Amino acid sequence: MADTTIFSKIIEGEIPCDKLYEDEYCIAFNDIAAQAPIHFLVIPKKPIINLLSCEDEDKNLLGHLLLVGKKIAISKNLENWRTVINNGAESGQTVFHLHIHFLAGRPMKWPPG
């Protein structure tokens, strides 16, 4: 089980967010530290630390998170975006609750960092 994070507080409604979507499995909102003109996060309500801590039972949830992100991207008329999942501190993960970044609105470079 994950420790209390800013994301768990957002899920519980203790901290407000610029919500884009919510259902029984996840919530999506604009990133407050946007790295692109469009930058939103999709996070599971289930407290999963990162991809490494996912189990086989999470496969439907993981697919759902990606499809929710796609739905939001389409609603923003996006055809191109970058999807990022950081796993661990050395990869850039700063909040230890699984989250998927969707970034768009500017050219993306490779390698990313």
**CB contact at 8 A, 98 and 49:** yes
- DSSP one-letter string for 30-53: E-TT-SSSEEEEEEESS----GGG
Q: Is 97 a catalytic residue?
A: no
11 phi-psi bin (left φ>0, alpha ψ -120 to 50, beta other): alpha
Residues 39, 97, 99, 101: which is the catalytic one?
99
**CB contact at 8 A, 101 and 39:** yes
Catalytic positions, written as ranges: 99
